[in-house]
Amino acid sequence: MKRTTLGLSFALTLLASATLTHAQDANSPRISQDLVSAAAGSRDPGNPLPEKPDQDGWIKLFDGKTLSGFTAPDPGQWEIKDGILVGQGPVSHLFSPNTYTNLEFKSEVKLNHSGNSGMYFRAALGKGWPKGYESQVENTSPDPQKTGSLYNFHKITEQLVQDDTWWTQHVIAIGNHIIIKINDKIVTDFIDEKGTYMSGHVAFQQHNQGSVVMFRNPEVKRLPADETKAWAVAKKDMPDIKVADAK
């Protein structure tokens, strides 16, 4: 009789626990599909890719399986999922193993609602907010500087792309002249008279908890040191450039 009572008590305890868990699950915030998907990604640091430009001079930054030697001085949650670089979790910046001077830097980008991110170039490797140029990635967060801004140098206040959609972000940096193109539109054409940052790493930003950013097919192109020659190369990729050196 005592054994029966104990068995019944145990069964009632399990039932109560299952009911409570179900109630908690029902009241818990929904986890976005992007977060669920990213959880299965690879965080293998991998090794830097050898620089092997394709026939047009573009260099892949990732092998599609690992982080390819990119490093984050402030640890974050960076991973490769289905060949795509995904950033989420606490603030973190993922830096390239190599540095660049005159360059083109391009990626397809996708950002969740109220997310915030960035594509840095000519950045110094280190903790905290990078010292370098940032091509802003931000559509609906409270930050007034939107996608396409050269952060704190040339501000775009108009929302150019929608949340949770893929767009192409293309940066050209030659000397002190910076161009940023979003999809088919040049939105930043800026000359930094101070030449604030002239060489450094490219980097990807994860701005804050709650942001989920994806970078697909990121690549870089080294441009000649001679600026006239560099503009001649860049104009082949961005024919709508309108600068004297690009003729």
Tokens encoding 193: 């008279």
pTM of structure: 0.83
Describe the strand order of the beta sheet including 116-123 as a list of residue ranges. 92-100, 200-206, 116-123, 133-138
7 vs 202 pLDDT, higher one: 202
Domain ranges in the chain?
A: 1-30, 32-246
Read off the pLDDT of residues 170-190 as tens digits, 9 standing for 90 and up: 999 999 999 999 999 999 999
Q: What is the mean pLDDT of residues 110-117?
A: 97
Predicted pLDDT at 243:
74
Give the C-alpha separation, 120 to 140, whole Å. 20
* Per-residue pLDDT band at 118 (split at 50, 70, 90): very high
Predicted pLDDT at 27:
38
Read off the pLDDT of residues 35-73 as tens digits, 9 standing for 90 and up: 333 345 789 999 999 999 999 999 999 999 999 999 999
Give the C-alpha separation, 65 to 63, whole Å. 6
| Residue 187 DSSP SS3 | strand
- Compute, in degrees rounded to 10, the torsion defined by CA atoms 189, 191, 197, 203: 0
Angle at CA 41, nearest 5°, toward 60 and 33? 110
Range 32-246: architecture per CATH: Sandwich (2.60)
Predicted pLDDT at 162:
97
Element (H, E) at 200: strand 200-206
Give the C-alpha separation, 50 to 29, whole Å. 43
pLDDT at 2 over 70: no
Predicted pLDDT at 16:
41
